[in-house]
């Protein structure tokens, strides 16, 4: 069993309801420190909700969210700001500021949160861009970068303040094979070089097997499986197997809930 | 229609106004003035103000031209062609300058602000700021609010100036009016505080309202292309109505 000091992030009996729909219900989730953990699950299962809970953007309806010894769901204002400086987040599309160059995007958190001189900021930014292989693109605007390059610049920005925790929200979505390989290597390198706790939110099972030390699957509003990627791949649980094997039908049905087809076809003049 | 639906339909605009008011209060309560904020305000004054200059100058000139044409034609029938500069100046300073410049500002800068903030929401840039512990209110909203407050009065001054140039062009150069009496009549009929000052006060109010609505509709836009398109349309419509209603109220108090 994992020691509590080895747990970087912990969600305890968390329930979240949004717009009358229950997204997570009594979810218990522990994310080990210093490792790469993949949070997987079908689309709409609440993976990104976990990110929003941990960063304090969303308060749970019940339950507790902890980062180390800090209870996140009770923080607000400046305390939450201080916490967020220790969390780097790569959002799905990078979310770079289009009116700033790559350099200025990466420099932004440094300029906002530190009193470092411009010459020191320049060195740090160039080192971060070098790490993601885009030092040569420092003066380019986001509109001049490819999708994969944008995410790499956004990764450099997320780690500008050397955070203790890095979140990657769907980092492989829509990437070509080369960019995908680069992203995999980057996440691994950052984890090794900075000793961060890395959380990769994804539904890309094959890439998780190459990348993660630890993986968990959220489905049906709760945690359904946790372990190493190999353990999950060998699981006999029908839901885990459906997800890991990519089967179109199973516990997660192919069809959206609806009345029986013959009944639907026989009804006339009621909607389309 | 059910009672519930009609009730929602009636209260929806009031609720929207309440939310926009709370948003404004939040923005002002978190207002900070450091060197970085001032630099950003200046940058936004450039985007909202300087980039609106072309439309303001062109429209101002033609408004002055057509206003002089119409009043010259009418006043000449009564032998009062000398009063054309008086009508031109008073209409511009009191009403047309602030109102038309505000409407043009809403069409040019207001829509641009709404679309920019709406797209920032849709592309998660506002989320990214929040996640980096940078307050989007301070970084995005406040500079644009203050930029509107600063830029519109300056644009009204330029609008009035070019409209008078348009008036002079028509009356003096095309119709052959005496330039000295044109200026003398204008100077003697315009009161600095009441006419000119009143118009500038209106322009500050309109600038504030136009910037507030532009920022609000961008901030509350649904994060889709359709949502951003709807928000930009709402900005123009709401600003036009708000400016005209406010103009009536302010004029009633100033007379």
Ranges of each domain in chain A: 4-86+163-266, 96-162
User: In this structure, are residues A168 and A132 in contact, taking their beta carbons and an 8 Å threshold?
Assistant: no
Work out the average pLDDT over B94-101: 95
Is residue B36 less than 8 Å (CB to CB) from chain A? yes
Which residues are paired to A7 by β-bridges? A32
User: In this structure, are residues A222 and A41 in contact, taking their beta carbons and an 8 Å threshold?
Assistant: no
Beta strands A36-40 and A197-201, pairing class: parallel
d(CA A260, CA B223): 35
**Which of A49, A97, A160 to mutate: most B Cβ within 10 Å?**
A97
d(CA B213, CA B24): 10
- The CATH architecture of the domain made up of A4-86+163-266 is 3-Layer(aba) Sandwich (3.40)
CA-closest candidate to residue B244, choices B62, B107, B95, B24:
B95
- Could you tell me the pTM of the whole model? 0.83
Is residue B29 less than 8 Å (CB to CB) from chain A? no
Most confident option among A70-84, A234-248, B200-214: B200-214
The sheet with strand A62-67 has its strands ordered as A21-32, A7-18, A62-67, A70-71
Q: Is the pLDDT of residue B1 over 60?
A: no
Which chain B residues are within 8 Å of A55, Cβ to Cβ?
Answer: 131
Nearest CA-CA distance, residue B49 and chain A, Å = 18
Q: If contacts are CB pairs under 8 Å, which of residues 145-174 in chain A contact chain B?
A: 154, 157
User: In this structure, are residues A152 and A182 in contact, taking their beta carbons and an 8 Å threshold?
Assistant: yes
Helix runs in chain B, H state only = 3-29, 35-48, 53-77, 84-91, 97-105, 111-122, 125-131, 136, 142-168, 179-189, 198-219, 225-254
The neighbour count for residue B181, using CB atoms within 10 Å, is 12
| Chain A residue with minimum CA distance to B125 | A95
Say which residue, A258 or B72, is predicted with more confidence. Answer: B72
Work out the average pLDDT over B41-56: 93
Q: Do B125 and A96 touch (CB under 8 A)?
A: yes
Work out the average pLDDT over B119-129: 92
Say which residue, B187 or A219, is predicted with more confidence. Answer: B187
Q: Is the pLDDT of residue B112 over 90?
A: yes
Query: What value does the mean pLDDT of chain B take?
Result: 91
Nearest to A85 among B124, B128, B133 (CB): B133
User: In this structure, are residues B20 and B212 in contact, taking their beta carbons and an 8 Å threshold?
Assistant: yes
Q: Can you tell me the ipTM of this complex?
A: 0.82
Work out the average pLDDT over B172-181: 89
Residues A159-215 have pLDDT tens digits of 999 899 999 988 887 777 887 888 888 888 888 888 889 999 987 777 777 788 888
The neighbour count for residue A116, using CB atoms within 10 Å, is 14
Most confident option among A55-59, A258-262, B164-168, B175-179: B164-168
Is residue B17 less than 8 Å (CB to CB) from chain A? no
Work out the average pLDDT over B60-74: 93
Instruction: List Cα–Cα distances, B133 to A64, A159, B7, B219, in angstroms.
Output: 22, 14, 40, 18
Chain Cα centroid distance, residue A226: 16
Residue A157: per-residue pLDDT: 94
Which chain A residues are within 8 Å of B127, Cβ to Cβ?
Answer: 57, 91, 95
Q: Do B132 and A108 touch (CB under 8 A)?
A: yes
User: A12, exposed or middle or buried, with CB in 10 Å at 0-12, 13-18, 19+?
Assistant: middle
Nearest CA-CA distance, residue A99 and chain B, Å = 10
User: In this structure, are residues B107 and B114 in contact, taking their beta carbons and an 8 Å threshold?
Assistant: no
Is residue B73 less than 8 Å (CB to CB) from chain A? no
Residue B152: per-residue pLDDT: 95
Q: Do B131 and A109 touch (CB under 8 A)?
A: no
d(CA A12, CA A223): 11
Nearest to A89 among B123, B131, B134 (CB): B131
Query: What value does the mean pLDDT of chain A take?
Result: 85
Residue A18: per-residue pLDDT: 86
Nearest to A97 among B36, B125, B131 (CB): B125
Q: Do A91 and B128 touch (CB under 8 A)?
A: yes
Is residue B11 less than 8 Å (CB to CB) from chain A? no
Work out the average pLDDT over B160-172: 94
Residue B63: per-residue pLDDT: 96
Residues A214-257 have pLDDT tens digits of 888 888 788 888 888 888 888 878 777 777 777 766 666 666 66
């Amino acid at each position: 069993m994992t020691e509590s000091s080895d747990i970087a992030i912990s969600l305890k009996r968390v329930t979240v309801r949004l717009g009358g729909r229950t997204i997570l219900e009594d979810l218990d989730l522990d994310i080990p420190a210093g490792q790469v953990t993949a949070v997987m699950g079908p689309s709409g299962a609440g993976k990104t909700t976990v990110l929003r809970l941990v960063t304090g953007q969303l308060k749970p309806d019940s339950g507790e969210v902890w980062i180390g010894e800090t209870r996140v769901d009770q923080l607000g204002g400046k305390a939450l700001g201080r916490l967020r400086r220790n969390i780097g987040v790569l959002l799905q599309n990078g979310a770079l500021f289009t009116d700033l160059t790559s350099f200025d995007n990466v420099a932004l958190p440094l300029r906002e949160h530190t009193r470092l001189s411009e010459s020191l900021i320049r060195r740090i930014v160039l080192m971060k861009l070098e790490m993601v292989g885009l030092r040569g693109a420092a003066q380019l605007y986001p509109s001049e970068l490819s999708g994969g390059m944008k995410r790499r610049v956004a990764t450099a920005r997320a780690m500008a303040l050397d955070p203790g925790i890095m979140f990657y929200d769907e980092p492989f979505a829509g990437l070509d094979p080369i960019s995908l390989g680069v992203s995999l290597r980057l996440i691994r390198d950052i984890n090794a070089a900075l000793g961060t706790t890395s959380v990769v939110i994804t539904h890309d099972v094959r890439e998780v097997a190459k990348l993660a030390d630890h993986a968990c699957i959220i489905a049906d509003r709760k945690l359904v499986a946790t372990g190493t990627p190999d353990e999950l791949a060998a699981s006999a649980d029908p839901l885990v197997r459906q997800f890991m094997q990519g089967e179109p039908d199973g516990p997660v049905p192919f069809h959206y809930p609806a009345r029986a087809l013959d009944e639907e076809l026989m009804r006339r003049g009621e909607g389309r | 229609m059910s009672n519930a639906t009609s009730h929602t339909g009636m209260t929806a605009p009031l609720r929207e106004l309440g939310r926009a008011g709370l948003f404004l209060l939040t923005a002002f309560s978190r207002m900070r003035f450091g060197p970085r904020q001032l630099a950003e305000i200046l940058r936004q004054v450039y985007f909202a103000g300087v980039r609106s200059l072309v439309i303001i100058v062109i429209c101002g000139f033609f408004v002055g031209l057509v206003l002089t044409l119409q009043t010259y034609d009418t006043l000449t029938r009564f032998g009062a062609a000398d009063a054309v500069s008086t009508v031109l100046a008073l209409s511009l300073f009191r009403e047309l300058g602030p109102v038309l410049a505000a409407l043009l500002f809403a069409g040019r800068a207001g829509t641009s602000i709404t679309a920019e903030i709406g797209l920032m929401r849709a592309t998660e840039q506002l989320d990214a700021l929040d996640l980096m512990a940078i307050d989007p209110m301070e970084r995005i909203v406040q500079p644009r609010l203050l930029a509107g407050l600063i830029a519109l009065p300056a644009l009204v001054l330029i609008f009035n100036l070019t409209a008078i140039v348009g008036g002079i062009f028509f009356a003096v150069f095309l119709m052959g009016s005496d330039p000295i009496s044109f200026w003398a009549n204008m100077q003697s009929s315009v009161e600095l505080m009441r006419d000119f000052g009143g118009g500038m006060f209106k322009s500050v109010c309109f600038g504030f309202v136009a910037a507030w609505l532009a920022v609000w509709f961008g901030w509350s836009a649904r994060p889709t292309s359709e949502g951003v398109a709807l928000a930009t349309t709402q900005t123009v419509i709401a600003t036009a109505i708000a400016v005209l209603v406010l103009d009536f109220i302010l004029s009633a108090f100033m007379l």
